[in-house]
């Protein structure tokens, strides 16, 4: 745990981390936009239907689809792994088991994302209850108005949460073997493919977010289970790849 704390503290100090965390204030842009008569980033929903959880799910979905936050955390991963290998600074850890090093770095990246998630939640909460609460389409309630909407929103939040974690694990796996450009390119393709796959019959089950479209068919329990199983498979492969590649690193 001491190694995790030490690496996490160093990770928090990186400028890449600060850039990534800055994207968490994205929901608060709605406060500024609502001051002007513009259709940019305007929400639409049936009257009194949009609860806070629905808004938070929509915010997370947009954050994921604009890609920039993911690119920021991928850059954080590459600068913390590949750049240290390339610059020879990993010699500082040579008396520590390699599995512990890569584990600590991966945990640090995930903790940074978890902070981002909490900050986004807080920014969304402030935005909803200060700027959107009086709108015709908002209900003012924390939860969704119907069980079906609530289930979809909660699973949608989980889907984005899992996809961010998968992207971090993939970037970690690639960074130990390849340069920053290849890591960024492959991880970006993985992310973009996750946008398209859910809309294709033969590929929609490849990503956790693809199961959202099958919620009415499978039900909440099975959809949740399948999302977790697919995520665990990906994470296991990526983490094993990171372990295997890091064992071969010379420093």
Residue 204 lies in a domain: yes
Q: What pTM was computed for the model? A: 0.90
- The residue segments making up the domain with residue 206 are 2-32+47-247
pLDDT of residue 41: 58
> CA 109 to CA 165: how far, in whole Å?
9
pLDDT of residue 111: 96
pLDDT of residue 99: 83
> CA 48 to CA 177: how far, in whole Å?
51
> CA 23 to CA 44: how far, in whole Å?
23
Low-confidence residues of the chain, pLDDT below 50? none
Number of separate domains in the chain: 1
pLDDT of residue 47: 75
Residue 41 lies in a domain: no
Contact at 8 Å (CB) between 26 and 63? yes
Give the DSSP H or E segment for 125. Answer: helix 98-127
pLDDT of residue 163: 95
pLDDT of residue 91: 53
Residue 38 lies in a domain: no
Residue 202 lies in a domain: yes
Residue 39 lies in a domain: no
Contact at 8 Å (CB) between 24 and 121? no
């Amino acid at each position: 745990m001491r190694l995790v704390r030490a690496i996490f503290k160093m990770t928090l100090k990186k400028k890449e981390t600060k850039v990534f965390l800055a994207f968490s204030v994205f929901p608060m842009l709605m406060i500024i936009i609502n001051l002007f008569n513009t259709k940019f980033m305007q929400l639409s929903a049936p009257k009194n239907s949009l609860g806070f959880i629905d808004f938070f799910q929509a915010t997370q979905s947009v954050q994921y689809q604009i890609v920039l936050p993911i690119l920021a955390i991928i850059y954080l991963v590459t600068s913390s792994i590949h750049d240290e290998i390339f610059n020879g600074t990993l010699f500082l850890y040579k008396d520590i088991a390699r599995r512990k090093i890569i584990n600590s770095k991966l945990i640090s990246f995930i903790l940074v994302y978890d902070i981002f998630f909490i900050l986004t939640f807080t920014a969304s909460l402030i935005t909803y209850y200060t700027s959107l609460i009086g709108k015709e389409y908002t209900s003012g309630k924390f939860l969704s108005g119907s069980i079906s909407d609530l289930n979809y929103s909660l699973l949608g939040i989980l889907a984005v949460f899992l996809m961010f974690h998968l992207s971090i694990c993939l970037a970690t796996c690639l960074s130990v073997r390849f340069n920053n450009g290849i890591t960024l390119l492959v991880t970006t393709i993985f992310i973009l493919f996750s946008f398209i796959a859910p809309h294709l019959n033969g590929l929609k089950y490849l990503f956790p977010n693809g199961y959202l479209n099958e919620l009415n068919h499978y039900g909440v329990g099975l959809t949740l289970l399948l999302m977790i199983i697919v995520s665990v498979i990906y994470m296991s492969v990526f983490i094993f790849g990171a372990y295997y590649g890091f064992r071969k690193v010379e420093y």
